[in-house]
Amino acid sequence: MVQSKPRVVVTRKLPDPIETRMMELFDVQLNLTDEPMPKAEIVEAVKTADVLVPTVTDRIDAAVLSQAGEQLRLVANYGTGIDHIDLATARQRGITVTNTPDVLTEDTADMTMGLILAVSRRLTEGERKLRSGEWSGWSPTGMLGHRIYGKRLGIVGMGRIGQALARRARGFGLSIHYHNRHQVHAEVEEELEATFWESLDQMLARVDVVSVNCPHTPATYHLLSARRLKLLQPHAVIVNTSRGEVIDENALTRMLVGGEIGGAGLDVFEHEPAVNPKLLALDNVVLLPHMGSATFEGRNDMGEKVLINIKTFIDGHNPPDRVLGEGF
């Protein structure tokens, strides 16, 4: 960077402490509203920015990057997932991409465990019943759910979040099974008492709860396809706090409507913010507005990572959270 204060464009409103620090360090264009920046504005921004700070709501594709000025050398993503950024085009144009790993691990694992409980024990359904005035009192057969103690949890993607979930799930008495691109280290398996399945199909047919914790990449698009979803047992519960595109949402919806699986807990959707109206009508589904990482602490920590990545990069060093590859 040739200027003392690089020009940084931020596409969404970030926590106040992060924006304040950015203003101190850089020449910053902030988004004062909490609305997604239109693509046309992002295109204009990359023509003059040295650094772009996008979020998951932005599509930083080849059409955007191809119009970037020569001075754009860093896309410092505010978030862990990078499926909305065209990494190949960024590499071709010599643009470094960073993200914010680790800081969202515990928050997302908490939310995933919460969804497993909520679906299995019909928590949100019960709350709706109470608030609507339909509850007439305790009944021996009222609002029966399923015990999770002693059940098998199948984790799809045994990275940081998958392992954090496994630690929580063991405390609830679930046995841990997982499918991953690579088998985790033996000491991790031993600690978690986890069973590795090279075949995702075989694991899905044997577990009671499935949690999707892998990133969305071309290789994981519709990883849980209609064919694979049909392998689940009729009582099985599926939870997704990763990316909606990993599951064939239409196939999942059809099976839920038809009573072919027990239930689902979804924090992400294939075409979000749009949600299939048929999902909204189901009682055996818990739906959340992509809030798995929504804690004050987590969002501030994300911002701190963005700051460190930018500052390290403009100081002429490799940023600590440079994105080097894909996978789960």
Secondary-structure breakdown of the chain: helix, strand, coil percentages, each rounded to the nearest 5: 35, 15, 50
Q: Tell me whether residue 2 is in a domain.
A: no
Query: 7, 179, 228, 243: which one is catalytic?
Result: 243
> Are both 246 and 157 inside the same structural domain?
yes
For residues 149 and 203, state if they share a domain: yes
Residue 262 carries which side chain, given as an amino acid letter? G
- Residue of 272, 304, 322, 326 marked catalytic: 272
- Which residue in 114, 164, 101, 159 sits closest to 298, CA to CA? 101
- 59 as an active site residue: the answer is no
- Residue 320, in any domain of the structure: no
> Does one domain contain both 157 and 206?
yes
- Note whether residue 221 is domain-resident: yes
| Residues listed for the chain | 328
Are 126 and 74 in a shared domain? no
Domain at 310, CATH number = 3.40.50.720
Indicate whether 272 and 124 sit together in one domain: yes
Q: Is residue 14 part of a domain?
A: yes
Q: Report the pLDDT value the prediction gives residue 327, as an integer from 0 to 100.
A: 42
Which domain, by its residues, includes 110?
A: 105-287
**In a shared domain, residues 70 and 180:** no
> Taken in order 187, 191, 193, 199, is the CA torsion positive or negative?
negative
- Say if residue 258 is in the same domain as residue 114: yes
Q: Are residues 201 and 146 in the same domain?
A: yes
Find out whether 293 and 180 touch, Cβ atoms under 8 Å. no
Catalytic one of 84, 170, 290, 322: 290
**pLDDT score recorded for residue 325:** 59
Q: Is 290 a catalytic residue?
A: yes
Q: Looking at the DSSP assignment, which residues form a beta bridge with residue 299?
A: none
71/45 Cα distance (integer angstroms): 12
* Domain co-membership, 59 together with 82: yes
Judgement on whether residues 194 and 262 belong to the same structural domain of the protein: yes
The whole-angstrom separation of Cα 158 and Cα 133 is 42
pLDDT (tens digit, 0 to 9) for every residue of the chain, 328 residues total?
Answer: 445 799 999 999 999 999 999 999 999 999 998 899 999 999 999 999 999 999 999 999 999 999 999 999 999 999 998 999 999 999 999 999 999 999 999 999 999 999 999 999 999 999 999 999 999 999 999 999 999 999 999 999 999 999 999 999 999 999 999 999 999 999 999 999 999 999 999 999 999 999 999 999 999 999 999 999 999 999 999 999 999 999 999 999 999 999 999 999 999 999 999 999 999 999 999 999 999 999 999 999 999 999 999 999 999 999 999 998 544 3
Which residues on neighbouring strands pair with residue 175, listed in sequence order?
152
CA atoms within 13 A on the CB side of 197: 19
How many domains in the chain? 2
Distance between CA atoms of 113 and 120, rounded to whole angstroms? 11
Q: What residue spans of 200-269 are helical by DSSP H?
A: 200-204, 226-229, 249-257
Task: Give the number of other CB atoms < 10 A from CB of residue 134.
Answer: 8
Are 88 and 112 part of one and the same domain?
A: no
Tokens of 163: 């392992």
Q: 257 with 280: CB under 8 angstroms?
A: no
Q: How far is CA 303 from the centre of its chain?
A: 17
**Could you tell me if residue 328 is inside a domain?**
no
Known catalytic residue at 272: yes
Q: Rounded CA gap, 227 and 244, in Å?
A: 17
Please, which residues bridge with residue 266 across strands? 240, 287
